[in-house]
Amino acid sequence: MKLIPMEGQPIYKVRSSSSYTNVHVLTRKLEDVLKKQQRFGLLLVKEVSWGDKNAMRESRDVLMSWLRENKTAMSMYCLGLAVVTSNQKEQQLAYRTKASPSTTVSYGCPKAVFDQEEDALEWLQVQINYYCNKWALTNF
């Protein structure tokens, strides 16, 4: 699993499956990003083959646990988490909870779910521009 910095933008992109090993690899790479102490956006593109429900639940629990443990750092540096998925149920759930502040409470940063990568990138750019203007940030 690669966490790829997008050229010219403070955005990291990752293509992910929900395997237990992949989630641990992702969290280690996110720890490296957080150590840089620079603000960033995260684009998580979920691959179609997310495996069985138990594996998906287990991986989600690992990621949620990591996010709880690293919430302070995530709230300081992560400007937004955009998730791209083709899973209709996940999109519907995200739509119902989109206006809820619970995503910021859970993840330490705003989160949104999309079915198209272009829409997710556009949302991340809005988040980054908002915080740049709000905090007068010029250097990422």
For 51-91, the pLDDT digits (tens) are 567 777 787 788 889 988 999 999 999 999 998 887 665 55
**Which residue segment(s) compose the domain that 100 sits in?**
3-135
Model pTM above 0.85: no
> Is 80 domain-assigned?
yes
Task: State residue 100's pLDDT score.
Answer: 47
Across 88-96, average pLDDT: 53
> Is 140 domain-assigned?
no
> Is 107 domain-assigned?
yes
Task: State residue 18's pLDDT score.
Answer: 60
- Angle at which helices 53-69 and 20-35 cross, to 10°: 20
Residue 96 banded pLDDT, cuts 50, 70, 90: very low
Of 124 and 63, the structure prediction assigns the larger pLDDT to 124
Taking the C-alpha atoms of residue 132 and residue 138, their distance in angstroms, rounded to an integer, is 7
Q: Give the residue from 11, 38, 36 showing the smallest Cα distance to 125.
A: 11
> Is 105 domain-assigned?
yes
Q: How many domains does the chain have?
A: 1
Task: State residue 30's pLDDT score.
Answer: 94
